[in-house]
Amino acid sequence: MTWLDFVALILATWRVSSLLVMECGPLDIFLRIRCAVGIQHDDQGRPEAWNGGVLAGLFSCVWCMSIWTGGLLYLVWWLSPTPVYILAASCGAIIIAEVQTWQQKSRSPQS
């Protein structure tokens, strides 16, 4: 494993964990998965309460989810690294967009 593979695995792990725990996804698929495991959401789709189940706890914590998605993505990378690189590229694009948004906000005049 090269350092590039390692960085790609880190970025892909963050992307998948973030999708599963914090984002609604297309057609609210990730929101529905979280509801199915017992997580209640506010009006914006952010998790706000969950039952005491193991899966609900997993789907409410990015750090907890990243352990399992990291292991799964390592297995995927071992079989074929291409999907991991695609997810890492997606994460890189999101980071660039967030940095640009942050820079625009910091340049705008404060009221």
pLDDT attached to residue 97: 87
Is residue 43's pLDDT more than 70? yes
Is residue 68's pLDDT more than 80? yes
pLDDT attached to residue 14: 92
The CA-atom distances, in angstroms, between 20 and each of 5, 62, 73 are 22, 8, 14
pLDDT attached to residue 111: 53
Query: Which residues is 49 bridged to in the sheet?
Result: 40
Is residue 106's pLDDT more than 90? no
The pTM for the full model equals 0.79
Q: What is the rounded distance in angstroms from the CA atom of residue 17 to the CA atom of residue 23?
A: 10
Is residue 67's pLDDT more than 90? yes
Mean pLDDT, the chain, whole residue set: 88
